[in-house]
Amino acid sequence: MGEVSSVAESSLPLSISEISAAYGKKRVFDDVSLSMRSGESFGLIGLNGAGKTTLIRSILGLRSASGTIELFGKSNTQPQARRNLIYLPEKFQPSPQLSGWEYLSILLDYFGQRVDKDAARAIAAGLDLDPFALDRKAKTYSKGMGQKLGLVGAFLVEAPLMILDEPMSGLDPRARVLLKDRLNEAQKAGRSIFFSSHILADIEEICDRIGVLHGGRIIFDGTPKNFVTQYAAPSLERAFLLSLDEAGKGADSAP
């Protein structure tokens, strides 16, 4: 994986200011603010239904949200701003009638890039996906193979910001370890990585900073180490549970 294309060094890859979203009358989150520094790995954590995917979809402009969202200093509503990111949704499955190579070609073409087949084979092998599987149609893929193909594309596209929604979904333990290695390599190459996960051990291992989304708000934004220290917990998982207990008590005592 090569170096990423350059963007303005003075601009943050992602800046979110006081955004709110709801489905009808049901609030998802209110006045959420956070930002990422260039070359940073940021993990968004929260219970199922906390709004992680809704927040990501808001960043991508796939759903409406009030407030301000900027990508490298430009509004996320501008197509040219979104060209600086690559997104992989949760439980990704490519079109069953496309071969692996056809999928990668369509994806890279969107970014004005051509498929480097040697690089693609190397990335596939680095994710424990047999490079020969790229010759086959996706309808022959297992769930894990489809997820790996999506990841191959995400790493192959030279976008400075990677947004991954539950990228460990469908991966076996070996593939999870290999993915963490690839994410660390991508970060060293200059990419900024924003991803959500419910596997907190992975978050603790690879993230520079985390944001905890609960009760419609960010209840913590900082390093995993500081989060664990704040709750005098033995692990990120235990600190997470304690933070939810504390947030619940605060909600119960509110007028």
Q: Name the H helices within 111-235.
A: 117-126, 143-156, 173-188, 200-206, 224-230
**Mean pLDDT of the residues in the chain:** 91
Instruction: Give the pLDDT of residue 149.
Output: 97
- Quick one: average pLDDT of 67-96? 92
What are the helix and strand counts (H, E) for the chain?
Answer: 9, 10
The pLDDT confidence band at residue 7, using thresholds 50, 70 and 90, is low
Q: For residues 106 and 74, what is the distance between their CA atoms, to the nearest angstrom?
A: 26
Six-digit token pair at 157? 């596209």
Average pLDDT over residues 94-113: 96
CA distances, 235 to each of 13, 116, 199, 238 (Å): 29, 41, 12, 5
How many residues can be counted in the chain?
255
Q: Which of 204, 248, 195, 253 is CA-nearest to residue 226?
A: 204
Cα-Cα-Cα-Cα torsion 120, 124, 129, 130, nearest 10 degrees, comes to 50
Give the pLDDT score at 6. Answer: 54
Cα radius of gyration (the chain): 18
Q: Which two tokens stand for residue 5?
A: 């294309």
What is the structure's pLDDT at 249?
74
**Model confidence at 255, in pLDDT bands (50, 70, 90)?**
very low
pLDDT of 4 > 70? The answer is: no
* Contacts with 225 (C-beta within 8 Å, 6 or more apart), sequence order: none
In order of their start, the domains of the chain are 1-84+161-172+184-255 (3.40.50.300), 90-158 (no CATH)
The residues facing 85 across adjacent strands are: 161
Task: List the one residue out of 63, 23, 33 whose CA is nearest residue 218.
Answer: 33
Closest-CA residue to 148 (of 208, 136, 159): 136
For the cut 60, the answer to whether the pLDDT of residue 251 exceeds it is: no
Amino acid present at 55: L
CA atoms of 52 and 54, how far apart (whole Å): 5
Could you give the CA distance from residue 88 to residue 111 in angstroms, rounded to a whole number? 15
Residues 6+ apart with CB under 8 A from 204: 224, 228, 235, 236
Q: Which run of H or E residues covers position 192?
A: strand 192-196
